[in-house]
Structure 1
Amino acid sequence: MLPPVRPRILIVEDEPSIADNIVYSLESEGFAPCACSTGAEAIARLEAEDFALAVLDVGLPDTTGFELCRELRLIKDVPVIFLTARSSELDRVVGLEIGGDDYICKPFSPRELTARVRAVLRRADHRPKGAPVAAAASSSTESSPAVAAAPPEESATPVSVDETRCQIRYFGEVLPLSRYEYRLLQTFAKHPGRVFSRAQLMEHASDEPEAAMERTVDAHVKSLRAKMKTVRNEVEPIVTHRGLGYSLAEKWV
């Protein structure tokens, strides 16, 4: 019997002592870490190899972890954990808004890091590994001939959810969504007009709602609106109910 394949983890950290500690911790827990110190090297690694997850330091010598995350997402859809000494709520929200899956503040314990890596990998979605986010949304329309794909759910709104392919179409166009954005819009689409509180949306979108922040929902809703506006700029798809939460619009222009 072949030994199990160890998940490969890309670590981008410019402080050698921290990188060495991360590598040791992950190797001890059965992962296959690969460390580099610059954004350019990380891009080259990701273009040439496949990784299950990336741990990105926010402060790098040639770029920021946030900018690097944007570049990585154009190459492959790999989950991202940010690692930084900045612990403000705004930094956390920015990191999550641009597509990060988790955020760890220095100093941290090796046990916490490995636990968060495992948690992110557990809740990683089922899009084809190694594909860019936008490409994954379109290419996943191809299904195995041995398995018939279920049709998209019927909808009275221009938002159509295809749970088999983990796709959502808006006015007929597939939206390139992160896993959190997909879950939020899926929740809205099932109940147009219903007002969801931030706590309710965190329950639907996060596997660990007790660890999420209400502003995290605000950040993902903002990102969702921006992506939907690229399809129909004149439409307000998500309605804000001050002091209450959000809902999907019922009337469409």
Structure 2
Amino acid sequence: MPTKILVVEDEKSIANLIELYLKNENFTVFKCYTGAEAIRVIETEKLDIAILDIMLPDIDGFSICQKIRESYNFPIIMLTAKDEEVDKITGLTLGADDYITKPFRPLELIARVKAQLRRFTKYNQSNTYPKEDIISIGGLVVDKNTHQCFLNEKPLSLTPTEFSILWVLCENKGQVVNSEDLFKKVWGDKYFTNSNNTIMVHIRHLREKMNDPAENPKYIKTVWGVGYKIEN
């Protein structure tokens, strides 16, 4: 099957140039000048990678990135004319995998596309198992079948309990999992007041391994008096 690439860029000359170089590599290209067109392609085609411009006339690239990450794990490369750190952080936080600033060399973009496709294929995020068994949130990839976890492409060494906690939080991304429900799902036992201390210890160990400090967490966030949630 040919590799299908979504290119979203409102500057037609740039979009055409990207399309030309990608087609020279025998990729199938879906070229869109607006966010609305891109959403239609995302919903109708089985894509392998997306290249998104941030500044678009209707829906910005960040919103499209969020839309993709609601349902799909394929790589996303963000394009922008701004050389601002905040844009890079925003894109990566929303789930983008790479970032390139315009003006760029077409061959550099092609190299980054190929690198992302290799990484994605390596982890088999959508080819071997159903999507619900592999969750990707930003740079975090959690595989329920193999009990493997990667953060920014580096493996995390987690205990079975730590993995189970992380999995429960990931499959409820953006939602608060209260401490009682978390305890029941992970330990399969009745929740008591001191059970929360057990959860807190494991959450602390998880954060240490993920380099995710409690004072300013990127992934695991505490909702005081309720429980925990993971978002990115």
TM-score, normalization: structure 1? 0.59
Change (3 A) 1:231 1:34: farther
Aligned to 2:12: 16
Distance 1:63 1:175 in 2: 27
Q: Tell me what 1:170 maps to.
A: 165
Superposed CA offset, 1:179-202 (max 9, x none): xxxxxxxxxx9x948967x9xx7x
The root-mean-square deviation of aligned C-alpha atoms, in Å, is: 4.1
Q: Give SS of 1:69's match.
A: helix
Matched, 1:159 2:154: no
Q: Which residue of 2 aligns with 1:42?
A: 38
1:159–1:15 CA distance, 2 compared to 1 (3 A) = same
1:126 to 111, 117, 124: 124
1:1-253 to structure 2, matched below 5 A, reads 5-124=1-120, 125-128=123-126, 136-137=134-135, 155=159, 158-160=161-163, 169-170=164-165, 173=168, 175-176=170-171, 192=205, 222-226=217-221, 229=222, 234=227
Q: Which has the higher strand share?
A: 2
What residue number does 2:184 align with?
none
How far the C-alpha of 1:222 sits from its partner, in A, is: 3.6
SS at the partner of 1:22?
helix
Mapped contact 2:207–2:220 kept (Cα < 8 A): no
Q: How far, CA to CA, are the matches of 1:36 and 1:233 in structure 2?
A: 43
**Runs of 4+ that moved beyond 3 A:** 131-138, 149-154, 191-196, 229-237
Identity score, percent: 34
* Alpha-carbon distance in structure 2 between the residues aligned to 1:18 and 1:151: 39
In the alignment, is the contact (CA less than 8 A) between 2:6 and 2:47 conserved in 1? Answer: yes
**Structure 2 Cα separation of the partners of residues 230 and 90 of structure 1:** 26
Partner of 1:206: none
In the alignment, the residues of structure 2 paired with residue 120 and residue 102 of structure 1 have an alpha-carbon distance, to the nearest angstrom, of 8
Q: CA distance change for structure 1 residues 94 and 172 in 2, over 3 Å: closer, same or farther?
A: closer
Give 3-state SS (helix, strand or coil) of 1:24's partner.
Answer: helix
Number of residue-to-residue matches in the alignment:
183
Q: Could you tell me which runs of 5 or more consecutive residues in structure 1 were left unpaired when the two chains were aligned.
A: 144-148, 161-168, 179-188, 202-216, 238-253
TM-score with structure 2 setting the length: 0.64
Q: Distance in 2 between matches of 1:78 and 1:236?
A: 23
Could you tell me whether the CA contact under 8 Å between 1:75 and 1:132 is conserved in 2?
no
Partner Cα distance (1:150, 1:193) in 2: 15
| Contact 1:74-1:132 at 8 Å conserved across structures | no
